[in-house]
Every structure is written in structure tokens, then in C-alpha cells.
Structure 1
Amino acid sequence: MPHISSASLWELAAADVHQRKTEAEEEAEEGGGGGGGGDPVAERSVFLMGSKAGGKTSILLKCLDRDEASKPTLALEYTFGRRARGHSTPKDIAHLWELGGGTSLSDLVQIPITPASVRSLSVVLVLDLSKPNTLWATMEKLLQAARTQVEKVSSRKQQAAKQQATLRLLPKDYPDREMISPFPLPLLIIGSKYDIFQELESEKRKAVCKSLRFIAHHHAASLVFTSSKSVSLMSKTKSFFSHLAFGLDRGKAVSLDPAKPLVVPAGSDSFGQIGSPPMTEVDVTTLHAKNPMDLWKKVYERIFPQESTSEQKEVSDPARDPQYAEPQLDAMRAQKDQELEQLRRNAAKSWKGLDLDT
């Protein structure tokens, strides 16, 4: 069996991602070839992150009209989507990244968020509505990780330009224009598993809805609730996704009723409509909040004490997961594990054989 160095495994993984992107670009060129002076191919990137096992892959597959079973995402995965504008016209390309592991792998945001991609990158944050006790912590950590990476790869001039561009998407007479803090990239928040969320008691559903509306409006983001079991909800979700991935119209539907799935396009809500935090038993003034976002966080955590997300660290070894089996690599891995164990035994014998008195 040929020798494979540990470094070459990473090279193979990098080459695989590069090959997929190359195939996407080549197919786009083929779609525009022969047309003679057609419009240039539009390329956008979308980065999906969110709750662990929150349904990100299922949502992505349905938005791409791919009829295949979803699998747990291993670390960070890349795929691409194509959309033809018409006959003999170029195909628009969407580079799609999906982060697995919930918050445990947030350091990997540095891969999809780069100086080159940030100009055409959008973020989709999928939050599991069926687990409100981890929702805020997941949202907070992932958005902060993404924001920090954007700031790292962007100059101050670029950051200011992006913020102004986001503000321009809102109506000029928007009452909260000077009060919000737009996320540095176009942001879509998807509340997943709405079918399970409906089983929560009414007051708790209202608390989650108001809180997510506040979070979305504060970041100048769009918000939509969905369920992989609902065709109509997935259709609305797809329109928002296609808006980010291919520049299509996201639709004008708006639903702010907490008794129904929320559909809130960016710029269609306001702090006045959202109202005050859903606190009835505790005096808000006693929470000593630093700012409105901190106040909403403290109120939300009173209603839904947040469970630690540290336990989401991957404890299983993906290399031993049957769904990622690679016979040749697995055989080489087994051989290397045996060699490593033998080296450890030899080293242990060498230490025991030393004459410590000398």
C-alpha cells in the first residue's frame, strides 16, 4: 500500500473543495458560452450556521430542490447551486457553506468569511425553535464569531460602506434607522422546527417570537419560521434563500402574528410594533442592563434559562463514523494507529531501561 503522509490528507480535502468550485465555474461558463456577449455570470456566497441538529442541511437541500436524504454535517461542508436565467444564458452560481456542530466549531467561520468572499457573502442563521433554552446562546456566539471575522478581513472603510449599504435597504423615513445596529453582512434568521414549536404554551411562544423579532430588527435582518414538514413554509423560506443566493425577489408577505409562523422581511418591522420585553413578574429596571440588547437577553434568560452549549463539543471521532467510510484511508489509518502504539511501547521500555542513578 502506498505511503500517505498526514499532511496529504488535508491536501486532498482542500483539493476536493477546489475541484467543486472549479466545476461550478466551468458549468457557469458553459451556460454562457456560445451566447455571444451574454451577461456575466453572477456569483454569490451563502454561509449557513446555527443550532446543532437544527435542520440546516434539510433546509438547504429543499431550497436547492435536491431530493436526497440529509446527513449530519461534518465540521464545514461546501456545495454549490446553479440557476439558469433563461435559454442560452449564463447560470448564476451560489457558493454554499454549511457549518456543523452548533457553536462548537465557530472558529471555522474564518474559512468561508475571507477578504475575497465578504463582498458577495450573506449569512443564514438557523435557530431550533424546539429548543428555546439554547437558542439565545447559540445566536449570540455564532453572530459574534461571524462579525469578528468580518471585521478582521475588512478594512474600516469597507465596514463603513457595508453598514451604509445595509441602511440604504431600509426606507428613508424608517423610525428606527439610527437605533439599530445592522449586521455587517446580509442576514437571514430562520426559526426551524415550527411544527414542534407550536406545542409550546402560548405565552412562551409569544416570548420567543417577540425576542426573535427584536433580534432580527436590531440587526436589520429578515426573519422567517419554517418546518421541513410544511410545503408552504418551505416555499416562503426558499424565496428568502433564493434572494440571498441568486438575487431573486424575496416576496412581500409579512406575518407578525405570534399565533402564526413569522414572516418578517428586513425593514418591515419596528421597535414600536415589537413592544417591550415579555416580562411580567420581574421589574425590568432591576435587571441593570447595559443596552436594549442586553435587556432583552436578561429577560429572555429569565423565561428560558440558557443551557450551556459547551457540551456540544464533538466527543465522537468522525474518522470512525460509518457514513464517512473510506476503505483505503481507513486501512492506512489503522496501520498508522498500530505503528503509533508500537512506538509508544518502545518509548516506554526505553524509559524504564534508563539507569537513573547515572
Structure 2
Amino acid sequence: MPKISSDTLWELAAAEVHSRGTEAGEADGGEPVSERTVFLIGSKAGGKTSILLRCLDRDEPSKPTLALEYTFGRRARGHNTPKDIAHLWELGGGISLSDLVQIPITPANIRSLSVILVLDLSKPNAMWATMEKLLQATQAHLEKVSSQTQQAQKAKPGAKQQALVHSAARVLPKDYPDRELISPFPVPLLIIGSKYDIFQESDSDKKKVVSKTLRFIAHYYAASLIFTSIKSENLMSKTKNLFSHLAFGLDRGKTVSCDSTKPLVIPAGSDSFSQIGSPPTTDVDITSLHAKNPKDLWKKIYERVFPQENTSEQRELKDPAKDPQYSEPQIDAMRAQKDQELDQYKRNAAKSWRGLELET
């Protein structure tokens, strides 16, 4: 097992998987084992774990994600060949634990990293705030790590290091639609609209607003977009294709569906601003909205249709122990007792210090 410089649980697990993969590669003839990292973020209770388990063909019940969880997947390239490894991280708690994005994103994996954003289609009034907060936090840390990596490599002269610097940046094909008008996410991004089975029962006009808005956001970030439901084998099959493309480098499939009356399936590069059209609005004068840029304009119109919920309470919730979904009555009661004992100890200690000060 390789020497480990960090004692965090997640990095210990990742190192263990790495060592097993290396041993497997050597045992099968020394061929290099491909390793990729996929980071799942998204709506609280939006179905991230259920989708991940289905994509990995794991028949087990899903449980609420506690803060940040790690697992891995393996896939053989062929008969008697080493298995490629996908390191899979899942962030729980919606936007409340967005500070934890710094753990899965490291200089060691940034060139093989992909991000999956799962948005709960059944809760459109929380969708934009969730998307904006998580993508901003993730992008900010990606850019920070990328900058640190490039500075470190530039400090070491040599053609090999310089080549790595250039390969760290995401480069789109020259014929990518609207290449000069979009702002590609630093790493490959897949946006999954979950719970389509509930969303499809919504008002048709509101469905059109959600669909066109997510099409715009996906194209703006050069991301893939798919609407899915764990209750639909067909949709989950298409979702698995896009997931496997990020996790194992497999073909992402050729299905494309841009019809807002049907589940969207739009691989990156398959859409364009001309096909998406203008923001869907009939009762708002677009010229009256003081938008800074096209993305801000879509945001203002979307929030007119779906006023966003107050997320201040979620942002303040940094301790998973205070989150109702992780409640354990016996443990919580014991902790409450210990907290009371600690408070009493502090009060007694304060009295003792005041007594010493008076004597002095």
C-alpha cells in the first residue's frame, strides 16, 4: 500500500482503491489502469444517491447522504483486461455544505475530474438558487486548484511539465456551437433533472420555462443535460450512458431530444442559442429588466415565474448533527446531556476564575 500523507477518511479510502487498482493492473500484464473522478452535487433529497446506485447497477436501498460520501466503480475494458476505476464523491445537504467541495477537488485529479449536478425538477422554486450556489462554489475551487497546479508546474522547467499545464484546461472544438458566446465550465459537466415522473404532471407553460431555462444554462456551460426518473428504465438507461461516458470514457449515446413536452436528452454540443430561442415570457417586458448579461436575464425571468425560496436557513446549517434527516434519538439525547454538562462546567470554571481575580 502506498505511503499516505493525509489521514482523512476519504483520502485513505481513495488511496486504498488506487493501490488495489495498481495491483490489478500489474497482475493482468502491467497495462495502465484508467482512473477518473466524478463529483455529484445537487438538490437536497433530489435523488443523487438513487441515480448513482442505478448507474452502478447496485441493487441496494439508498440512504440519506451524510455530508460527503465516497464510493467507487469498476469496469473491465474487455476479457482478461484491467478494470478502469471511477472515484465517486457525493455531496449531501444541498447548498448547506457547499464548503466541502474543496475535499474531492485536488491537484491530483483535476485533469480527470467531471461534475454531475442533480436538480430536483419537482421543486422549481429552489432550483435556481441551488444550481447557482453549488456551481459557483465548485467553479471557484476548480479555478483555485487549477491556478495552483499551473504555478507549481511552471516553477519546474521542462517540456513535460509545460505540456501538463496546457492539458489541464478544458478545450472545446473549434466548431462547437456558439463557442464565442458561452462560458464553458472548467471540467465536463452533466446536469440531471431528477423526478421527471412528478415534473411531467406540471402545468405545460411552467414546464416550458424550466426546460428552456435549463437548456440555456447547460449550453452556456457547455454541459450535457438530461431529465430522468428512477421509475423509468428507458430514462435511466440514457442517464447511465452519460454517466458512464464521464466515469469510464464510454460512448455517451446518440439520443437527442429537445422537445419540452418530452424528457430532455441533450449531450454537450448538440444545442445552440438559436434553437433555444428567447426566454419564455409573455407578461414581462424584457427591456424593463435591468440584466447585466444574458444569463442574468434568464435568471430574472425564471424567478418571476418561480420565486425562489428563502435559503438563508439552509446556508446557516453547517453542522450535519443539527439536520433533522440525520436524527438519532438516543444519540441526540446523550449529546444534549453532554452539552448541558459542558455548559455547567464552563459556568463553574468562570466562577472559579472570578474568585481568583477577587482574591488577587
Residue 265 (structure 2) aligns with: 263
Q: Equivalent residue for 1:198?
A: 200
Are 1:183 and 2:176 counterparts? no
Distance 1:222 1:162, change over 3 A: farther
Identity between Structure 1 and Structure 2 (%): 71
Is the alpha carbon distance of 1:335 and 1:164 closer, same or farther for their aligned partners in structure 2, counting shifts above 3 Å? closer
1:262-320 Cα shifts (integer Å, max 9, x gaps): 00000000000000001111110110111110111111111111112222243875389
Residue in structure 1 matched with residue 222 of structure 2 by the alignment = 220
Query: What does 1:93-242 correspond to in 2, within 5 Å?
Result: 93-155=85-147, 161=166, 165-168=170-173, 172-242=174-244
User: Who is 2:321 aligned against?
Assistant: 318
Q: Residues of 2 paired with 1:285 and 1:297: CA distance?
A: 14
- 2:53 pairs, out of 33, 57, 61, with 61
Determine which of 84, 89, 105 is the counterpart of 1:92.
84
Q: Match of 2:86, as an amino acid?
A: A
Alignment of 1:267-346 (within 5 A): 267-312=269-314, 313-314=316-317, 318=321, 337=339, 340-346=342-348
1:185 to 1:100, Cα distance in 2 relative to 1, 3 A: same
Unaligned 5+ residue runs, structure 1?
1-12
Show the counterpart of 2:73.
Answer: 81
Show the counterpart of 2:26: 33
**TM-score, structure 2 as length reference:** 0.85
Structure 2 counterpart of 1:17 = 10
CA distance in 2, matches of 1:148, 1:354: 50
Following the alignment from structure 1 to structure 2, what is the Cα–Cα distance between the partners of residues 342 and 277?
59
More displaced 10-residue stretch of structure 1: 228-237 or 15-24: 15-24
Matches of 1:258 and 1:163, distance apart in 2? 35
Distance 1:219 1:78 in 2: 26
Q: Hey, what's the Cα distance between the residues in 2 that align with 1:153 and 1:320?
A: 30
Give how far 1:36 is off: 2.3
Q: Is the 8 A contact 1:166 1:186 kept in 2?
A: no
TM-superposed CA distance for 1:60, in Å, is 0.9
- Provide closer, same or farther for how the CA distance between residues 174 and 22 of structure 1 changes in structure 2, counting only shifts above 3 A: closer
Cα–Cα, structure 1 residues 186 and 297, in superposed 2: closer, same or farther, change >3 Å?
Answer: same
Regions of 4+ moved over 3 Å: 13-16, 156-166, 172-175, 313-317, 319-325, 329-339, 351-358
CA contact (8 A) 1:32 1:88 kept: no
Number of equivalent positions? 341
Q: CA deviation at 1:69?
A: 1.2
Match of 1:48 among 35, 40, 47: 40
Q: Bigger CA drift: 148-157 or 194-203?
A: 148-157
Q: Which amino acid aligns with 1:31?
A: A
- Cα distance change on mapping 1:52 and 1:184 into 2, 3 Å: same
SS state at 2:201 partner: coil
Change (3 A) 1:324 1:259: same
Q: Judging changes above 3 Å, is the alpha-carbon distance between structure 1 residues 298 and 157 closer, same or farther for their aligned structure 2 residues?
A: same
For residue 308 of structure 2, give the secondary structure of its aligned residue in structure 1: coil
Task: Measure the CA separation in 1 of the matches of 2:357 and 2:182.
Answer: 71
1:104–1:310: 8 Å Cα contact kept in structure 2? Answer: no
The structural deviation recorded for 1:174 is 3.9
- Residues 163 and 129 (structure 1), Cα distance of their counterparts in 2 relative to 1, 3 Å cut: farther
In 2, Cα distance between the equivalents of 1:218 and 1:322?
34
Decide whether the 8 Å contact of 1:162 with 1:185 is kept in 2.
Answer: no
C-alpha change, 1:27 and 1:342, in structure 2 (3 Å) is same
Post-superposition CA distance 1:68-106 (Å, at most 9, x none): 111111111111111111232111111111111111111
Q: Could you say if the C-alpha distance between residues 286 and 57 of structure 1 is closer, same or farther in structure 2, counting changes exceeding 3 Å?
A: same
Deviations 1:177-230, CA, capped at 9 Å, x for gaps: 111110011000000010111121000000000000000000000000011111
* Structure 1 residues 18 and 294: alpha-carbon distance in aligned structure 2, compared to 1, 3 A threshold: closer
Give the CA deviation at 1:347.
Answer: 1.7
- Aligned residue identity for 1:288: H
Q: Is the 8 A contact 2:37 2:112 kept in 1?
A: yes
Residue 334 of structure 1 and its aligned partner are, at CA, apart by 8.5
